Chain A
C-alpha cells in the first residue's frame, strides 16, 4: 500500500473511532447475559416486536421513496405553478422533530382531536374514521417526517445529473417515463440509497414517535429491558442486534453498487426545465401542496396554537438563552461533522480498497443506535477516562476535581459527531461520486496536490453536497435530545432540553413554544440553502 493511502486509511480509522468506542461499549454487554429477562422477552414480546418493526421499516421505506423521489423529480426537471416555493418548502418537515410531529398529528386526528370532534358534532359519528393510533398511522406519520431526507438528496442528484444523459436517453427513443426509470433513477442511486438509509436508520433507532403512538417496535424492547426490568445489559444486547442488522444492510447496499460510476456526463449544464402545462401543472402543484400541508403546515399550525395558549408561562428571557445555545452548538457541530465527513469521503476516494471503506461504514453506525443507548455508550468511556486521570493525577488537580473531560462542549461535540456522521457522510459521499478521476488527474498534472488540490478542485465541485450536509446535521443537532441531556455542560440547556423537561410530566402543550422555536430556527438554514442551490 502506498504511503499516502495508508495515511488516509489511518485518518478514516481515527474518525471511525468516534463511533467505534461507544458502539464497542454497547457490544461489550453481549458477554453478560441476563437469561431470565431474555427468556421472558423472547417468549412474550420480541416475536411481535420484530414483526412490527419489519412492517414499520417496509412501510416507511416504501413511503419515503414514493413521496421523496417523484417530488424531487418534479421539482428538479419540470416547471409548474409554485415550483420555486415548493423547491425549498418541501424540506420544511425536516425542521420539526419527529416526536413533535407525531404528537401534533395525534392531537389533530385522534378520537378527541378537532377533526373527529367536528365529524361527531356535525354528523353524530366518527367511528368510521380509521384510528391514527395504528400501524398505518405510525407509518404515515414517520413517512411524512422522514421523506425530506430522500427528497433533498434525490433532488441534488437529479439537478447535478446533467441534461445530456437524459437527452441521450431520448435520442435512443426512451419516453419521458422510460428516461426517468432507465437513466435518471439508476444514475441517482447513491443519493436515493443514502436518503433511504438515513430514513430507515432513523426509523429503527426512533423511540419518541413510536412511544407516542404506543407502537411496539424493537426499541420498545430495549427500553423495557432497561427502564422497566432494570437490565441495561439486556438493553445493550438488543441494541447490538440492531447495530449488526444495520451494518449488514448497509454493507450489502454498498456491495451491490459495485464499481459503477455515477459521474456527470459532460457539463451538459441545465437546460430549461420542461414546463408542465395546464391541468398537469396544477395537479403537480396540488400534490406538492397536499404533502406540505399534511407534513408541515397543519401540524405546525396546531403547534402555534398550543404555543399561543402557553405563551404566558413560557415566554421568558430564558427562551432566548435556549435558542442561542441551540443555534450555536448546532452550527459548530454541523461544521465539525461536515469536515469529518469530507475527510472520510476523501479517504475512501484516495484508498478505495482495503480497510478504508469499512472504516467509513463503521463510522456511520451511530445513527442507527437509539439515542439514549448511544448517550450511555459515549458517557461511560469518557467518565472512565476522567476517573483514570483524576486517580492518577489527583495531586496536581485542584482539590475536589470531579471532571476533566466530561461535561465539556468538546465531548458534547464528539458525541454529536458519533451520532450524525452518517448524515453528513451520505450527502458528501454522494457528491463525491460526481467528480471523475480524469478531473483529478488533470488537476494533478497542472501541479495541484494535497490540500491545494482539495481546495481548488473538490471543494468547489462538492459545494452542493457540503451545504446539504451542513443543513441536515444542523437541523438534526437542534432536534437531538438524549445525547444533549447526557453530555451537556452545567446549565447548557437547549430548546430540546426544555422540551424534555416540560414533556417529562406530560405537559406537551406547554412544550409547544420551544418546539415552535426549534422549527423556526431550523427554517433559516433550510431557506438559505435552497437559495444557494437554485443559483448553482
Chain B
C-alpha cells in the first residue's frame, strides 16, 4: 500500500523537476532582498530559480574552480567593481539584448555587455541638522577643507563602496587631486573610521561628528525606525559632475547551462514591473528611468547622478586602494 504511493510521489517529483525550467543564480546580494523577486518570477513564469548565497570573492573562486561544469547561469552581486572583476577574469559572457539596452542607461552597464546594473545606490553626504546648514556643503572634495577639521566621520576604506567612490574620483579628477582630497579627509576625521555606514550615521546623529559620507538606503532604514534623528541628506557635487552612484547588478556566467533563461530573467528584473520590487526592498533607486523610486526614497528629492561609467569602479579600484593605504585612510 505504502510503496506504490511513494513511487508515484517520486515520479511526480521527478517529472516535475524535469518539466519546469531551472535557473541557478550565484548571489552575493542579501537573500532577503532577492527571494521575493525569485518568488514573483516563479509565479509569473513557472521558472524555478535556485539561489546560492555567498560573498562575492568566494563565489568567483567557485565559478573559476567549477569551470565548464558550473551549475550557475547568473552571477548577481553588488558593486560595479565586483562585476567588472568577474568579467575581467572571464567568468561572464557578453549578451546582446535590445530590451536591456532600452531599460538600463548606458553608464550603468558594461560597455561589452557582460553585466548590467539593476538598481542604483547613491553615496552622498549626510550632516547633523543641529550643527550644519546645507548651505555650508557642496562636494565630496570640499569635505577635505580644513574647516571640517575634527568634524568628519567616514567608514573604513576596506569597504568596497569607498573604494569605488575614490576610484571614480580618480577617473574624474586624476590621481594628484584625488590624493589631496583623501589626505584632507583623513586629516579632518573626528574619530577612528567606522566599520559600517549605520554606525557612522549614528555617530553623526549623536554629535560625535557633523558630516559624513554614506549610502542612502542606510539612512532610509535608520530614519524609518526613528524619524526624529537629526540627520539630513545632501546631494553632493550637484554643481559639478553629480552624486556618485554605484549599482547592484548581474551578468550571465560564461558556462551558463540556460543562457536564454538567464537573459530573460535579467530582462524581467530590469522591466517596469520588477524594478520597484528590486529597488524598494532595500530603498535603492531603480535603474530603469521609466520607473519611479519608492515614495520614501523619492522624498529625499531628485538629484543629478555622475554619468561616468560605473565600470571605472573596477578599472581604478586597485589604484584607489593603494592610494588610500598611502595616505593612511584605514
Which residues of A are at the interface with B, using a C-beta cutoff of 8 A? 37, 40, 44-45, 106, 110-112, 117, 131, 133-134, 211-214, 216, 220, 223-224, 226-230, 232, 372, 375-376, 379-380, 383-384, 386-387, 390, 400-403, 406, 482, 485-486, 490-491, 493, 497-498, 500-502, 504-508
Which of A44, A232, A506 touches B198 (beta carbons < 8 Å)? A506
Complex: chain A residue closest to B209, CB-CB: A111
Q: Is B132 an interface residue (CB 8 A)?
A: no
Complex contact A383–B65 (CB within 8 A) = yes
Complex contact B29–A504 (CB within 8 A) = yes
Tell me the smallest distance from the CB of A117 to a CB of chain B, in Å: 7
Q: Is B12 an interface residue (CB 8 A)?
A: no
- Can you identify 12 A-B contacts, CB atoms within 8 angstroms? A112-B203, A213-B195, A228-B163, A228-B318, A230-B318, A232-B61, A375-B58, A379-B61, A387-B67, A387-B68, A402-B66, A508-B196
When distances are taken between beta carbons in the complex, the residues of chain A under 8 Å from B298 are: none
**Chain B 183-195 against A: per-residue CB contact (8 Å), 1 yes, 0 no?**
0000000011111
Docked pose: A386 CA to B32 CA in angstroms: 31
Docked pose: A214 CA to B203 CA in angstroms: 16
Q: What are the nearest 5 A-B pairs in CB distance?
A: A383-B65, A501-B31, A112-B202, A402-B71, A44-B325
Complex contact B65–A380 (CB within 8 A) = yes
Known A111-B203, A112-B202, A228-B160; judge A214-B31 contact (CB<8 A): no
Docked pose: A383 CA to B31 CA in angstroms: 24
From A40, A375, A402, name the one whose CB has the most chain B CB atoms within 10 angstroms.
A402
When distances are taken between beta carbons in the complex, the residues of chain B under 8 Å from A401 are: 69
Question: Main secondary structure on chain A at its contact with chain B?
Answer: helix
When distances are taken between beta carbons in the complex, the residues of chain A under 8 Å from B32 are: 501-502
Complex contact B158–A224 (CB within 8 A) = yes
Which of A213, A228, A379, A490 touches B62 (beta carbons < 8 Å)? A379
When distances are taken between beta carbons in the complex, the residues of chain A under 8 Å from B221 are: 507
When distances are taken between beta carbons in the complex, the residues of chain B under 8 Å from A504 are: 28-30, 55
When distances are taken between beta carbons in the complex, the residues of chain B under 8 Å from A498 are: 31
Complex contact A501–B30 (CB within 8 A) = yes
When distances are taken between beta carbons in the complex, the residues of chain B under 8 Å from A232 are: 57, 61
Q: Is B53 an interface residue (CB 8 A)?
A: yes
Known A228-B163, A485-B53; judge A502-B70 contact (CB<8 A): no
Which of B69, B163, B195, B326 touches A386 (beta carbons < 8 Å)? B69
Docked pose: A227 CA to B217 CA in angstroms: 23
Docked pose: A401 CA to B160 CA in angstroms: 36
Docked pose: A40 CA to B322 CA in angstroms: 7
When distances are taken between beta carbons in the complex, the residues of chain B under 8 Å from A406 are: 66
Complex contact B69–A402 (CB within 8 A) = yes
Q: Is B129 an interface residue (CB 8 A)?
A: no
Complex contact B195–A211 (CB within 8 A) = yes
Which of A211, A216, A226, A505 touches B282 (beta carbons < 8 Å)? A505
Docked pose: A37 CA to B202 CA in angstroms: 35
When distances are taken between beta carbons in the complex, the residues of chain A under 8 Å from B61 are: 232, 376, 379-380
**Chain B 138-182 against A: per-residue CB contact (8 Å), 1 yes, 0 no?**
000000000000000000101010010000000000000000000
Tell me the smallest distance from the CB of A445 to a CB of chain B, in Å: 54
Complex contact B199–A112 (CB within 8 A) = yes
Complex contact B199–A110 (CB within 8 A) = yes
Complex: chain A residue closest to B282, CB-CB: A505
Tell me the smallest distance from the CB of B234 to a CB of chain A, in Å: 21
Which residues of B are at the interface with A, using a C-beta cutoff of 8 A? 28-33, 50, 52-58, 61-62, 65-71, 85, 156, 158, 160, 163, 191-199, 202-203, 205-206, 208, 217-218, 221, 257, 282, 317-318, 321-322, 325-326, 330
Complex contact A372–B30 (CB within 8 A) = no
Docked pose: A173 CA to B257 CA in angstroms: 79
Complex contact A485–B30 (CB within 8 A) = no
Complex contact B208–A111 (CB within 8 A) = yes
Tell me the smallest distance from the CB of A492 to a CB of chain B, in Å: 10
Complex contact B55–A485 (CB within 8 A) = yes
Complex contact B199–A106 (CB within 8 A) = yes
Complex: chain A residue closest to B258, CB-CB: A400
Complex contact B66–A387 (CB within 8 A) = yes
Complex contact B206–A111 (CB within 8 A) = yes
Which of B52, B156, B192 touches A490 (beta carbons < 8 Å)? B52
Docked pose: A501 CA to B160 CA in angstroms: 17
When distances are taken between beta carbons in the complex, the residues of chain B under 8 Å from A117 are: 206
When distances are taken between beta carbons in the complex, the residues of chain B under 8 Å from A37 are: 318
Complex: chain B residue closest to A391, CB-CB: B69
Which of A106, A214, A379, A490 touches B158 (beta carbons < 8 Å)? A214
Tell me the smallest distance from the CB of B271 to a CB of chain A, in Å: 23
Docked pose: A110 CA to B326 CA in angstroms: 28
Tell me the smallest distance from the CB of B52 to a CB of chain A, in Å: 7
From B31, B32, B52, B199, name the one whose CB has the most chain A CB atoms within 10 angstroms.
B199
Complex contact B330–A214 (CB within 8 A) = yes
Known A214-B194, A376-B61, A486-B62; judge A230-B30 contact (CB<8 A): no
Complex: chain B residue closest to A489, CB-CB: B52
Complex contact B191–A372 (CB within 8 A) = no
Tell me the smallest distance from the CB of B199 to a CB of chain A, in Å: 7
Complex contact A402–B156 (CB within 8 A) = no
Known A376-B58, A486-B54; judge A228-B208 contact (CB<8 A): no
Complex contact B195–A214 (CB within 8 A) = yes
6 further contact pairs, Cβ within 8 A, besides A228-B160, A482-B58, A493-B31: A229-B322, A375-B58, A379-B62, A486-B54, A501-B30, A504-B55
Docked pose: A504 CA to B30 CA in angstroms: 6
Complex: chain A residue closest to B71, CB-CB: A402
Which of B54, B163, B317 touches A485 (beta carbons < 8 Å)? B54
When distances are taken between beta carbons in the complex, the residues of chain A under 8 Å from B318 are: 37, 228-230
Docked pose: A212 CA to B156 CA in angstroms: 10
Which of A106, A220, A372 touches B57 (beta carbons < 8 Å)? A372
Complex contact B192–A133 (CB within 8 A) = yes
Complex contact A214–B193 (CB within 8 A) = yes
Complex: chain B residue closest to A400, CB-CB: B257
From B29, B69, B192, name the one whose CB has the most chain A CB atoms within 10 angstroms.
B69
Tell me the smallest distance from the CB of B323 to a CB of chain A, in Å: 10
Which of A384, A402, A505 touches B70 (beta carbons < 8 Å)? A402
Complex contact A214–B160 (CB within 8 A) = no
Complex: chain A residue closest to B88, CB-CB: A230
Tell me the smallest distance from the CB of A480 to a CB of chain B, in Å: 14
